[in-house]
Amino acid sequence: MPGLGTHPIMKRLRRRVERQRLIGRAVRRRRALRSLSDRTRQIAPGDILCFVTLRDERIRLPYFLDYYRALGVRHFLMVDNASTDGSADYLRGQPDVSLWWSDGSYKGARFGMDWINWLLLRHGRDHWCLTVDPDEFLVYPHCDQRPLAALTSWLDASGRRSFPAMLLDMYPKGPVEEAVCAEGEDPFRVARWFDPANYSIQKNPVFGNLWIQGGPRTRAFFAQDPLSGPALNKIPLVKWHWRYAYVSSTHMLLPRGLNLVYDEDGGEQVSGCLLHAKFLSSFATKSAEELDRRQHYGNSQEYRAYHAGLHRGVQLWCSESCEYEGWQQLEDLGLISRGNWA
- Across the range 247-271, mean pLDDT stands at 92
> Quick check: is 167 in a domain?
yes
- Tell me what pLDDT residue 297 has: 54
Instruction: Tell me what pLDDT residue 169 has.
Output: 98
Measured distance CA(296)–CA(293) in Å, rounded = 8
**pLDDT at residue 315 is higher than 70:** yes
The gap between the terminal CA atoms of the chain, to the nearest Å, is 45
Identify the residue with better confidence: 302 or 279.
279
326, part of any domain? yes
For residue 31, pLDDT over 80 is answered with yes
Number of Cβ within a 10 Å radius of residue 179: 23
CATH code for the domain in which residue 167 is found:
3.90.550
**Average pLDDT in the 135-141 region?**
98
Q: Each residue of 217-247: pLDDT tens digit?
A: 999 999 889 998 999 999 999 999 999 999 9
d(CA 238, CA 16): 19
Pairing mode of beta strands 97-101, 75-80: parallel
- From the list 35, 41, 54, the residue with the least C-alpha distance to 92 is 35
Residues 59-75 have a mean pLDDT of 98
CA 339 to chain centre: 22
Rounded to an integer, the average pLDDT of 19-33 is: 97
**pLDDT grade for 291, boundaries at 50, 70 and 90:** low
Angle between helices 8-29 and 113-123 in degrees, nearest 10: 90
Quick one: DSSP state of residue 55? S
Residue 53 lies in a domain: yes
* 341 is a domain residue: no
If one compares 187 and 306, the residue with the highest pLDDT of the two is: 187
pLDDT of residue 314: 83
340 in a structural domain: no
Structural domain total, the chain: 1
Q: Give residue 3's pLDDT.
A: 42
| DSSP code, position 230 | P
Using the predicted structure, report yes or no on whether residue 294 has a pLDDT greater than 60.
no
Per-residue confidence (pLDDT) for residue 4, from 0 to 100: 41
Is residue 240 a part of any domain in this protein?
yes
Residue 342 within a domain: no
* Residue numbers of the domain that contains 100: 4-332
Asked if the model's pLDDT at residue 20 lies above 80, the reply is yes
**What's the pLDDT score for residue 196?**
98
Asked which of 9-18, 238-247, 282-291 is least confident by mean pLDDT, the reply is 282-291
pLDDT band at 7 (very low <50, low <70, confident <90, very high): confident
At 309 the pLDDT is 74
Contact in structure between 23 and 116 (CB atoms under 8 Å): no
The answer to whether residue 338 is domain-embedded is: no
Confidence of residue 284 (pLDDT cuts 50, 70, 90): confident
